[in-house]
Amino acid sequence: MNVTLSALIRHLGQDGLSETTVIPWSCPVPSFGDVSRARVATLGLNPSNREFVDQSGKELVGPSRRFHTLGSLGLAHWSEAKSEHMRLVGESCRTYFLGNPYDTWFRQLDHVLAEANVSYYGLIGGACHLDLIPYATARKWTDLSSRQRSSLFRVAGDTLGHLLAESPIRLLVLNGSAVVTHFQNLSGIRLEKQVIKDWTLYRRSQPDVLGTAYRGVISHLLGVKLRRDVSVFGFNHNIQSSFGVTREVKLSIRRSIGRMADQVFS
């Protein structure tokens, strides 16, 4: 991951990211957890700003800190970063779940991984989280313009391929329809779709929300050869969604991931 991290740090402060609302003093986050030991990875859009700031927008410091920043590293600009600074950033990524993880978000995803016999946490391990874009932005992804998103993908869109190629990951779990859409657009691969009745979210005054599963296999990503097949499993419901994904639907998704893992690792 060192080469990938070095390239991501080098891009910070350059023109390609200057208009994207990337938090300029925050480090890149190529992984949450140890990607070099993960068999399963969940995939999101990009790191939340809450990985770096509290509810009032102030930088997390001391035991509340999750990742390094210019301030914590004693740097004025990312161009000053040396190998030791990159080592510290990489270590904060690898040990993320041993410190002060954003449990409000990650515990729910960890729950649906349980029947795959992996976890972000503790002795079980075997899982990590990756994002399509490894930079935290001050504005939510949905509030970014298409031009800003395109700039981020142009600068860092190949990061996921390099991380997968360097890791033992064999199952990639896509959390939510936005992740599925961007993954397909980025990879140029159409995933197989299947409506799952048990995933339907029933509504009283609005149309029911159907549940859809996505499956596929990739061996390369944006020209990066992965050296093995990586199975992809996605679902249109965002597990942390405000739409209210029910406990029953989460359990059904959890069982589906378990069955997928059994196929991949058998």
Q: From the CB of residue 194, how many other CB atoms can be counted at a distance below 10 Å?
A: 11
For residue 155, give Cα distances in angstroms to 7, 12, 39, 221: 10, 10, 27, 15
Instruction: Quote the tokens at residue 16.
Output: 């390609």
Q: Average model confidence (pLDDT) for the chain?
A: 94
Confidence of residue 15 (pLDDT cuts 50, 70, 90): low
pLDDT tens figures, 174-227: 999 999 999 999 889 999 999 999 999 998 888 999 999 999 999 999 889 998
Which domains does the chain carry? 2-265 (3.40.470.10)
Mean pLDDT, residues 102-123 taken together? 95
Specify the pLDDT at position 242: 61
Q: What is the mean pLDDT of residues 247-263?
A: 97
Per-residue pLDDT, averaged over 233-254, amounts to 91
pLDDT at residue 243 is higher than 90: no
DSSP letter assigned to residue 57: S
pLDDT band with cut points at 50, 70 and 90 for residue 263:
very high
Query: pLDDT tens-digit profile of 82-97?
Result: 999 999 999 999 999 9
Interhelix angle 2-11/159-166, nearest 10 degrees:
160
What DSSP element (H or E) covers 78?
none
